[in-house]
Amino acid sequence: MARVTVTYDNHIAFVRLTRADKMNAVDPEMIDGIIAAGQEVAASDARCVVLSGEGKAFCAGIDLTSLAGMMGKDPADVIMPRTHGAGTTNQWQEVAMIWHRMEIPVIAAIHGVCFGAGMQLALGADIRIAAPGTRFAVMEMKWGIVPDMGGMVLLPQLVRSDVLRRMTYTAEQIDTDQALVWGLITEAAADPLAAATELATTIAGKSPSAIRAAKRLIAIAESNDAASVLEAESRLQSELIGKPHQMEVIAAEMAKRPAVFK
């Protein structure tokens, strides 16, 4: 896959942007590579994903030279067709949304800069770990355009409305400390890739079916009414407990606990 590598270790899929000479700026080849990587991982037996960028940055955003292909065309003819995500996204939106829809947890290890398209790619992850001093920005307003790669689906789930508006209206850069305060990232780490790998290893060691069910349940909880969430809790739990030998697994785990917890 152009611009992207995918490797597997210990049930973890490591997806790495490899256009380091351009700070992993997103061009058409990288878009194709990111989507292809998502499709490959979704079809694999991986239990967790770690997204990262090679070189000095996670992703510097859109490579503006890639927009030259739109010159002379009706933008609606390029942007409006729903070509991916079972008819819900265009190709640009799929860059982030393919990870958001992934059935397994996705962790983004972020360093350097995370701007524009890179920001929206990172938002597709379940968890974001950033190095101190990383800079973040919803960059599109700088170019007189709006975020259009899934950010307006994903950002409102993370930050307050006033924060979302400030970041979008100003295109101002913020650092890791501010990103933590605003809830844009999960945690900071001196080596975000190592921290992400450690966390992914923990997740990959859990029941794969339970992790997938938990991700489905959280998605339902974030966007449905109480009755729907309560029904989903019961249904998914019934499915898990009904799996062969699941009660034996629970009993074995309980047997490991100190007597005070029995």
% residues pLDDT > 70 (the chain):
93
Could you tell me if 73 and 41 are in contact, meaning their C-beta atoms sit under 8 angstroms apart?
Answer: no
Question: Where do the CATH 3.90.226.10 domains begin and end in the chain?
Answer: 4-204
pLDDT, tens digit, for every residue of 207-246?
A: 999 999 999 999 999 989 999 999 999 999 999 998 877 7
70 pLDDT above the threshold of 80: no
Lowest mean pLDDT of 75-89, 189-203, 215-229, name the range.
75-89
Please report the pLDDT score of residue 67 as a whole number.
67
CATH number of 4-204: 3.90.226.10
The model's confidence at residue 10, banded by pLDDT at 50, 70 and 90, is: very high
Q: In the CATH scheme, what architecture does the domain 208-261 have?
A: Orthogonal Bundle (1.10)
Give 255's pLDDT tier (boundaries 50, 70, 90). Answer: confident
Taking 90 as the threshold, does the pLDDT of residue 153 lie above it? yes
Beta-carbon neighbour count of residue 249 at 10 Å?
13
What's the whole-number mean pLDDT along residues 88-93? 90
Residue 226's CB is within 10 A of a number of other CB atoms, namely: 8
Confidence of residue 69 (pLDDT cuts 50, 70, 90): low
Cα Dmax for the chain = 73
pLDDT at 62 over 80: yes
* Chain CA centroid to CA 193, Å: 14
At residue 260 the predicted structure's pLDDT band, cuts being 50, 70 and 90, is: low
- Residue 165, C-beta contacts closer than 8 angstroms, at least 6 positions apart: none
- Model pLDDT for residues 103-122, shown as the tens digit of each residue: 999 999 999 999 999 999 99
pLDDT of residue 262: 53
Locate CATH 1.10.12 in the chain.
Answer: 208-261
Evaluate whether 28 touches 69 at the Cβ level (below 8 Å). Answer: yes
Place of tokens 């003819």: 77
Say how far apart CA 81 and CA 87 lie, in whole Å: 8
Average pLDDT, the chain: 92
One-letter-per-residue 3-state SS of the chain: CCCEEEEEECCEEEEEECCHHHCCCECHHHHHHHHHHHHHHHCCCCCEEEEEECCCCCECCECHHHHHHHCCCCHHHHHCCCCEHHHCECHHHHHHHHHHCCCCCEEEEECCEEECHHHHHHHCCCEEEECCCCEEECCHHHHCCCCCCCHHHHHHHCCCHHHHHHHHHHCCCEEHHHHHHHCCCCEECCCHHHHHHHHHHHHHCCCHHHHHHHHHHHHHHHHCCHHHHHHHHHHHHHHHHCCCCHHHHHHHHHHCCCHHHC
Portion of the chain with pLDDT greater than 90, in percent? 76
Residue 200's pLDDT is what? 98
What is the structure's pLDDT at 131? 98
Name the pTM for this structure.
0.91
CB 58 within 8 A of CB 112: yes
CB 126 within 8 A of CB 73: no
